[in-house]
Structure 1
Amino acid sequence: MSSPIPATQSRMERVIREVPDLMAELRLEGVLQRVADFAAEVVGARYVAVGLLAPDRRTLRNFIVSGMSEPVRTAIGKLPVGRGILGLVIREGKPIRLRDLSAHPASAGFPPNHPPMKSFLGVPIATREGVIGELYLTEKIGADEFTEEDQHIAGLLAITTASAVENARLFGEQSRLMEEVQQLHRSRERFFAMVNHELRNALAAVYGWAEMLVRRKDPATVPRAAFEILDSAEQAVALISDLLDLSRLDEDRLRPVFRSVDCSIVARTAIQRVTPAAEERAVKFRLNLPGEGPLAWTDAHRVEQILVNLLRNAVRHSPKGGDVTTTVGLEGGRVVFKVEDQGPGIPTDQVESIFDVYVTSAGEERLGHGLGLPLSRRLAQLLGGDLTAISRPGAGGLFVLGVPAAETVS
């Protein structure tokens, strides 16, 4: 027949079992209250208190008590700040165990309305940087004083408390920093919205006057500068729109409108929008479609926006007189759009980085790579699809956009 487990071992096991729950508590006040309540139970004390040092490292704050009712706490008034024996535990950084704390020379007495306390056990709470607080217990239940075993158990609990306190403080600091980051993000978005609005207003006048100069006269009599101004204004307006869409995506405020869409119509509309820019470079568009236009369950406006970005990118990278081919078809439950040009192609090590807002390849500044590709991938993913680039160095660029087919969704 096995012998009973020694009391010390049993209490140590209870402390060990308490560690996970204690570390899971991320509120500092919650940690201290849990320690105080558990210490009273496992050590056997009528009153327990846990206090942490203030920045001056002399006085206590975050003072939590277990065993006192709220009326008693209110009657006592101000909580201890670390004088007398409590201050001695902090200064010496070692446990103090007393049969009668009032008989100790460092005793500072009790305030009015304070319950009587005689036996005392105080242990420092310390980290590698030094003492950060203390755990003390008074009025040993069922005995006149605390034992050496009680002191050992309280010491183990103090070590665990130090780790739990640091954990809660780190979490609190992380939460504070996250709140600051979110506040900065909100400020940035408000600033961005204001700048976006002002830029749109300023560009509207430039675009309007440039369009009047170009559209209402014989092209042969319009200065080249007018065309350049109109083209630059169009690019600036498109860039602002892309920035606004990226901002909405970051804030999860962009909501697509899903419906059954004839993808042949979407492809033709996108090509029409980019045709003027293509004609300036004598680039020709080719559209390959199946017998009937495939249907997708998607947002027609956003798919068109993606295709326009891909086509504009293809025109920029195509040689003068080159071809840009768009192919639309069904592949494995998806409607797939393929846009390919006759430019230099995409290097293997850039098939992902070209979709990164913050990465610009050598020479792309001149070509005006912009935000079109990063935004297009984000939009494709929002639609339940994806956008990929295929590396074909020397054989031209190839982008593949896939969105759910209407038949698959239904």
Structure 2
Amino acid sequence: MAAITAATAPDRVAQSWAYTLVLAATGVALGVSGVPAPLYGLYEQEWHLSPLTTTIVFAVYAVAALVAVLVSGRISDVVGRKPVLLGAFATMIAGLVVFVLADTVAMLVLARALHGLAVGATVVAGAAALLDLRPHRGARSGQLSGVAFNAGMAVAIMGSALLAQYAPNPLRTPYVVITVICLVVAAGVLALREPHAARVAGRIRIARPAVPQEIRGDFWFSALGVMAAWSVLGVLLSLYPSLAAEQTGIHNLVFGGVVVASTALAAAVVQLFATRIPARRAAVFGDIGMAVTLLLTIPALGTHHWAVVVGIGLVLGATFGLGFGGSLRHLSNVVPHHKRGETMSAYYLLAYTAMALPTVLAGWAATAWGLENVFPWFIGAVALACLVAAGLGMRRGRIEVAA
């Protein structure tokens, strides 16, 4: 017995990094999804792409992520989180290799599809693994997941912009650098002990977009919040940098990177320090704040001043952090432990749908009528969605108080 204890104790100590590793893996995955954002302008210039083509390339990622979130939750419940994370990182690296070799739009589409599959699987399996590792700290895990998402995206976008602007081979070097980082994280996942000890028996199947009856109201409040937030994220990553460059006259890639990265970084900082605000309240405040700030982006762009454009992006990021972070914390705190994988699949299914469809519609409309003319209408529609999510949250809060 003593020998067994001696053998297992170091293993437990060595696995104390597991929670941090899973958070890092989700951050890196979201970083990979953001690496092409500063490069879309280059692709448009060198390959003569229309805004519609750019948004289709972007949306392919979201559609592939939809497929991943439909199956990866159930797969991770059955076979474990570790195999899903390893497969996701292998797919992620394959997509980066395709990006490095890409010389046609078809290859860009393939690379983005691979990344959608990989990131969707990582997000769902990673969220479930965090709850496995610290089952009694669901809200905290939800908060840190949101921080990791936005911090990973901010660092990757800024790094991609700097490398594309100042390093040789701007359409290849950023992908090479992030590939090395992915290999390091994948090595850590390989050493990870499976966190999901109570795996369930059953067939691996496509998860239905359904949630437990007892948390349905809470789920829809959280889901509407994330749908509104990720609609903003889709256009922010695919079209907004080009619009900001046009309105300010600054076409340096680093400026486009700063616009998006500062927004993501502000979201990460707010999520990190918003722990004292109850999750529902944070989500409602964030949804209302996003609606107001989105409307203010229109006059901000109209000033044609870079500081104003970056400043409104910071405010938008802060409100996005409250809305997305509060929604994710709220859901993580109420989801039943035996339904974690499938519930998170349903949540991210709606999130990626909200990212893909409005982005493609905005790209199509921008190709037909110009991005500057379409942007205010898109902003108005998303602001309305944010207000609907906030209204549902306030209604649920009143119901609970009355009960």
Same fold flag (TM > 0.5): no
Larger Rg: 1
Between structures 1 and 2, the one with greater strand share: 1
Using the size of structure 1 for normalisation, the TM-score is: 0.24
- Higher relative CO (Cα under 8 Å, sequence separation at least 6) belongs to 2
